Amino acid sequence: MKTQNNSETLKAAYELAGMIYGISLDGTVNRNEYEALKNWCFQNESLCQDSTFQTLYEKIQPLILDGKVNHEELHDMNQILKTFLGDFESEEIKHPNLYFLNGIFEGILASGDINTYEIYRLKQWLEKNSNLKGESPFDELIPLVESVLADQKVDDQEAVKLKEFFQNHLL
């Protein structure tokens, strides 16, 4: 599927998919995470000039803007995004999973807290996406996550270090 704004459309879609993944890591959807999803809608509304993105947006926006988002709605959004992204050729943007990773950062940061389970799940995602080796921030993140999880827990100081890393590496 080719449209004029494929690159921006795909970046936004992968970022939202990553954000949903990051939000769902800890098993709860809090108010800050809901606000982050709502903010994604507002930040990307201008992409609706592209009819392909508008189709996605019209499916996602009502789920986000109804005042709350639960896990079923996150699952629904994830399915919508999988279908949407499946219509594109993977070569249309370089390293789409870097945009997904950016979304993970946003999702984790949105909760306000970083917990051990989230970082274990992030580590699993990093291991599954080892094809990103050689790319920033992937290469810097792996040793950070490994050092944080060396004692099998994320303490307050490590949580601050991770937050700083995520904030400094947002696209």
**The predicted structure's pLDDT at residue 163:** 96
**The predicted structure's pLDDT at residue 116:** 94
Least Cα distance to 3 among 63, 76, 84, 58 occurs for 84
**The predicted structure's pLDDT at residue 161:** 97
**The predicted structure's pLDDT at residue 90:** 59
pLDDT digits (tens, 9 = 90+) for 16-65: 999 999 999 888 889 999 999 999 999 999 999 988 899 999 999 999 98
Profile the chain (171 residues) by mean pLDDT over runs of 10 residues.
Answer: 67 95 89 94 93 93 89 93 82 79 95 93 94 92 96 96 95 76
